[in-house]
Amino acid sequence: MKLTVYGKTYIEKAIHYKVLFTCDYIELYLKTVLILLVVGICSFFFWLLFTYWKERWLTIGLSLQVFAPYIHLGSISMMVMVAWPVAFYVIHLEGEAKIRRYKITSNERRRNKMCNMITKLRALQVAVVLPFFLILLCLYVVPWGNHSPCIQEKDKLGPKPSFFGHRGAPMLGPENTMMSFEKAVEEGAFGLESDVQISYDKVPFLMHDYNLRRTTNIMEVLPNASLRNPTVFYWDFLSTLNAGRWFSHSWIRPFYHMKPLSEADREKASKQKIPKLMELLKLAQREKKLVIFDLNAPPPRHPARYSYIHLVVSEILDSQIEQHLIAWLPGSERDYIKDRAPGFQHVGTFYTLEELAKQNITRINVDYKRLYYNGLREYKAANISINLYIINEPWLFSLAWCSRIQSVTTDNIQVLNKINHPYYFMTPNFYILMWILLDCASAVFIVAIFYFHW
């Protein structure tokens, strides 16, 4: 009976341990699956962010060039506030370690247990204090490696960049209409930027999109053809479409920061039509404004498919505009254009310096995010004028100004033109003074906080 009891006890223990082992195994398996699932989901979301938000990351990098000095000074102030809970926790751990040290007895096992606990408490103290002071040390010395274009001497600041009105002034009037270009002129634009397409009967007109749905009333007039390319229509039809009601009467504003239109402007906008290129050229000639445009090639089988550049050049020359007011951006057939219209100012994109020199181009038109890489230093050193697009935010315009950029293309000319000095501008001496004062003050406060808790 005793053996049976012992045997039964042994079997029960074996079953008990087997159940525990099985539960531990299942728990470990579930934790592994959960970790892999979390890693997979995080990896997927990071892939999405880096794939579809690539442009946003570049903008964040640019913003650091402007805000880094302020983030640095603000981070030191934040570390002073964080020092209070860190000091409280570290001193609390020190108190625990002292109490356990006093409780150590002669019992070897108990002594070892107490020593292990004290060691863990010390390790926890180091794990809390060491990162805190390492981060603080980095913040104290980070200005030595910090470069911000907006930290410079006042006498080295370049002139304020000029403005190209992007499709006119699209926050004040419907884009690519005469009202929009007139508003840009009123706001002091240096040049007017647009997009040129060719109608089926070879009339150059102003339109950005590859269909007419967004900026005209074609859905009311000819809904079945609303997705067709604008160049497949004759000018007689295009000229009848309304190109402003979408802007003036829509409850969705085209731009978030756009101010409400006055009643007169609302009425004027609602009557806008698609303009010819000739109308823009006459306005530019009258107001002595530069004209720059993207020229879209007509689709295959279009009557002007292979002659659209010659057609547009002839239109420009027929308008009698002064040739130096044309900033020619399209890259095709430059030799023909230089021969036919030698006074045009040729504008490149991100060509190499050798290509620019070969084609005698002294101005480039590039995406503002290129500033993120090297500030376009090579082009500035070669005396190449730089135009950046699309600059709408005051901080971004301030960065372009501090970087000695000559001109910007903007939707927000009415705001940027009122900026008389770059935002977030600091002289090096002022920044160094603030840095040293804040370092000293924060060190005194942090020492005082630790001393108080001790």
Tens digit of each residue's pLDDT (9 = 90 or more) over 401-422: 998 999 999 999 999 999 999 9
Question: What would you report as the CA-atom Rg of the chain, rounded to the nearest whole angstrom?
Answer: 34
Which DSSP string corresponds to 39-91? HHHHHHHHHHHHHHSHHHHHHHHHHHHHHHHHHHHHHHHHHHHHHHHHHHHHH
In angstroms, what CA-CA distances link 408 with 15, 273, 366, 381? 78, 27, 10, 19
pLDDT digits (tens, 9 = 90+) for 3-59: 444 445 655 555 555 554 565 556 656 656 676 777 778 777 666 666 656 666 677
What CATH number does residue 274 fall under? 3.20.20.190
Assess if residue 421 is contained within a domain: no
Six-digit token string for 266: 């609302």
What is the number of structural domains in the chain? Answer: 3
pTM above 0.85, yes or no: no
Average pLDDT in the 156-185 region?
95
- Is the domain of 21 the same as that of 117? no
Assess if residue 59 is contained within a domain: no
- Is the domain of 374 the same as that of 287? yes
Question: Residue 431 — pLDDT band, cuts 50, 70, 90?
Answer: confident
User: Distance from CA of residue 49 to its chain's centroid?
Assistant: 14
User: Distance from CA of residue 70 to its chain's centroid?
Assistant: 19
| 290-295 vs 191-198, strand pairing mode | parallel
- Is the domain of 250 the same as that of 277? yes
Assess if residue 58 is contained within a domain: no
- Is the domain of 318 the same as that of 384? yes
Q: Is 193 helix (H, G, I), strand (E, B) or coil?
A: strand
- Is the domain of 168 the same as that of 276? yes
Question: Residue 1 — pLDDT band, cuts 50, 70, 90?
Answer: very low
pLDDT digits (tens, 9 = 90+) for 192-243: 999 999 999 999 999 999 999 999 999 999 999 989 999 999 999 999 999 9
- State what percent of residues in the chain have pLDDT above 90: 46
End-to-end CA distance of the chain: 66
- Is the domain of 313 the same as that of 453? no
- Is the domain of 343 the same as that of 406? yes
Give me the phi and psi of 77, to 5 degrees please: -60, -40
- Is the domain of 394 the same as that of 435? no
- Is the domain of 167 the same as that of 236? yes
pLDDT digits (tens, 9 = 90+) for 340-377: 999 999 999 888 888 898 888 989 999 998 877 677 88
- State what percent of residues in the chain have pLDDT above 70: 80
- Is the domain of 126 the same as that of 143? yes
Six-digit token string for 98: 């002292």
- Is the domain of 219 the same as that of 368? yes
Average pLDDT in the 63-70 region?
80
Assess if residue 18 is contained within a domain: yes
What's residue 370's pLDDT? Answer: 81
Segments forming the whole domain that contains residue 43: 1-52
- Of 272, 194, 193, 197, which Cα lies nearest the Cα of 228? 197
Could you tell me if 417 and 188 are in contact, meaning their C-beta atoms sit under 8 angstroms apart?
Answer: yes
- Give the amino acid at 300: P
Give bridge partners of residue 276 from the DSSP assignment: 205
Report d(CA 364, CA 346) in Å as an integer: 9
